[in-house]
Amino acid sequence: MQQYSTHNLRPPHDIHYSWTGWPSDSQLPETAPTGLTDVLSDALKSDALELESHTWSADAIHLSVAASPDCAPVWIAQRLKGRLDHALRKCGSNTSFSRKVSLRAFGHNRTAVVDRYVRDQLDHVDLADPRYRQTLESVAVNDPTVDLSAPAVSSHGRYWYGLHVVFVVASRYRVGEQRFLDRLRARIRDASAGKGCALKRVAIMPDHMHLALRGNPKLSPAEIAVGLQEATAEVAGCRLWDDEFYVGTFGDYDHGAVKGAGSGIRR
């Protein structure tokens, strides 16, 4: 029986994406049509997307949005392209876009900062028993073959999709038995791969766990997190985690850079 579900779940989150679209057969107008931002912003609200900024040029359009945890990157790219196309027509501009798109996850911290934060979790915890520290160090994951700055590539575009996930042990119970932690580490690696995600780092702490991974762009942050939550709870055979978890996006551009100057992405 499934123990965790996205139904009615509203986890703490910090999720942002920057989308880039290119005209297919002509240049765009030098400036955006009057009223375009308002029309587009209103349309995106029904998709649980909040337009945060846009950068317009004759060669490309960059849009940045804050998103719900329930929205998958591939779906977001489709909605942004469709909503923009409709908004342009409504504002009197008929522009067709290339089928090639680019979507970058970003957050308030860059990739290197999140990677270092997860790596150094044990440095911020006062553990009286050195053997317990050694046990937690032994089950940490760092996969050198995973490059969090690399995109997932599809026939229609590229998706940079870094996710930071934090699960909290139910009732803040402390975990620490070596064999259990070994099984937990193995399960999180297998479950991540099974969902098409590339797991970079895992830090298992006494009462919570941090994950840094490159997500499968066909799956939403909530789908990925709940799937991993469910899979790893099977190791304990009970409700290992609290229902609520944290999920946030990150990338090589931070929130300030994207909102201030566009994504700077080129085809």
For the chain, 267 residues long, the average pLDDT of each consecutive 10-residue run is: 71 92 77 85 94 87 93 94 86 77 93 96 82 92 96 86 96 89 96 97 95 97 94 86 93 80 41
The answer as to CATH 3.40.190.10 being correct for domain 13-107+253-261 is no
pLDDT at position 200 is 98
Looking at the DSSP bridge assignments, the partners of residue 159 are 103, 152
Q: Both tokens of residue 93?
A: 């501009």
pLDDT the model gives residue 264 = 38
User: Tell me, what's the pLDDT at 260?
Assistant: 62
Collect all residues with Cβ–Cβ distance below 8 Å to 173 and sequence separation of at least 6: 207
Is the fold of 13-107+253-261 the same as that of 111-250?
Answer: yes
- pLDDT at residue 265, rounded to an integer: 34
What is residue 65's predicted lDDT score, i.e. its pLDDT?
96
For the question of whether the overall pTM of this predicted structure is more than 0.85, the answer is yes
List the chain domain ranges.
13-107+253-261, 111-250
For residue 228, give Cα distances in angstroms to 1, 139, 188, 209: 15, 17, 7, 12
Give the pLDDT confidence score for residue 263 in this predicted structure.
Answer: 40
CATH 3.40.605.10 fits 111-250, yes or no: no
